Structure 1
């Protein structure tokens, strides 16, 4: 059978693009020490879309930052595309993030003076690589902006700016795309379009997407929803799921006694 597996069905033999094993993350020291992740072990399979949810302070963003190599855990290990991050020096880690990881954030992070195509090409140029014009144009075409290459962010809507950010994340053909509240700054209609795009990256291109979100409607587009509480995995639901079922589980976790 060609193409990615059907939504919500992942073979036991499917490659794990991202693997966290016993990850512990701490901030501060002494009386101010905070345990953000407390021995988290989880994998994210290739060609799947996972949503990570939890109340404020549950460790969602820390999990994403550790998984993406932005933060180093105090204990445990993280592997991306078969490469264990803990053994890498800063230069090698930077190269791995540049080549195998894509990032999409709530705040777009586009350079206002640059056009859409220049923003997409910028990470590669900063890395000393000369991006092929066809690759940049292809990434923008893939997100529906093939006719907006020379528009600056001020000439684009919020949804179009987020699509530029997604194209930028994809131009290096990464092993995984990490999205941190990618629809948090968008209205409901534009959010739906961005989620359609992320879903299509998985279903049509076999991309791996890990998305942190507080929105049950966004999480309902994922193949699985992972819930964190107090730095630990509290529950996991396979998709597809209705947003109200996700909201109910999230509410239960927020009100459950410790």
Structure 2
């Protein structure tokens, strides 16, 4: 089994055409190893979310190669990529993306049901128990706090036992105490279950929980810190990121 869960090689991604074309990623190469927690940071427009979306197969790069859990995305059909995302990738977003009319357990089961599968009730219950919501499984999003909604989203991401969890600003809409509990859960996925987590964040406190921090500016990787850093040190590095000349 490969230790490389996600591999990007010379990935270039653009938006728009002609004079209005914007280069979002400019030849990015990066690998995320199995059983690690990586944070991706950078100023607005640096390419953080584009990197995440390309790595997850949500966006197609103009050039370059992307591999997820040993599967090369190049040349796959949209249906193939959709199946890969469904079976091997978990997503957690800032906006939670829960269906308001469904209960917590129904939201957790929804991706599998949309794929034509009926997840075992025991698996749904276990996913909610893992995020501390065993007693809230029949509650709808409006009956849950923001932190509880994000826990439901995390349970939904985990039920398929994905190779990697991509988290896009997962604590951006939460207070500091609730944010800490979500980060604790993400950290436990790595430490206790050898899960791979890749998190985009602007928050140095959140990034400090990761094993590694990849810094972006103007679509290029400008720094790659693989040692623990304090939130203060991360904030200082973030403000001094510049694009290195080719």
**What is the TM-score normalised by the length of structure 2?**
0.97
- Find out whether 1:242 has 2:243 as its counterpart: no
Distance 1:29 1:220 in 2: 38
1:252 has 2:227 as partner: no
Tell me how far apart the structure 2 counterparts of residues 25 and 230 of structure 1 sit (CA, whole Å). 12
1:239 CA displacement: 3.0
Residue 61 of structure 1 aligns with which residue? 49
Are the aligned partners of 1:220 and 1:239 in contact in 2 as well (CA < 8 Å)?
no
Aligned pair partner of 2:25 in 21, 37, 62: 37
In structure 1, the partner of 2:170 is 182
Equivalent residue number for residue 191 of structure 2: 203
Do residues 218 (structure 1) and 211 (structure 2) align? Answer: no
The TM-score normalised by the length of structure 1 is: 0.93
Whole-Å separation in 2 of the counterparts to 1:151 and 1:28: 42
CA distance in 1, matches of 2:182, 2:27: 32
Check if 1:110 corresponds to 2:98.
Answer: yes
Deviation of 1:146 (Å): 1.1
How many matched pairs? 245
Specify whether residues 152 and 33 from structure 1 end up closer, same or farther in structure 2 by C-alpha distance, changes over 3 A only. same
Other-structure match for 1:94: 82
For 1:240 and 1:205, the matched residues in 2 are separated by 20
Q: Specify the SS of the correspondent of 1:174.
A: coil
Report the CA distance between 1:257 and its aligned residue. 9.4
Residues 25-76 of structure 1 show CA distances to partners (whole Å, capped at 9, x for unaligned) of 0111110011100000000000000000001100000000000000000000
* Matched residue SS, 2:155: helix
Residue-by-residue CA offset, 1:192-251 (whole Å, 9 max, x unaligned)? 110011000100111100000000000000000000011000001123211000000001
Gaps of 5+ in 2: none
Q: Secondary structure at 1:86's aligned position in 2?
A: coil
Indicate the SS of the match to 1:168: helix
Residue in structure 2 matched with residue 119 of structure 1 by the alignment: 107
Q: Which runs of 4+ in 1 moved over 6 A?
A: none
Distance in 2, matches of 1:111 and 1:35, equals 34
Q: Deviations over 1:82-105 (max 9, x none)?
A: 000112101111000000000000
Matches of 1:90 and 1:241, distance apart in 2:
39
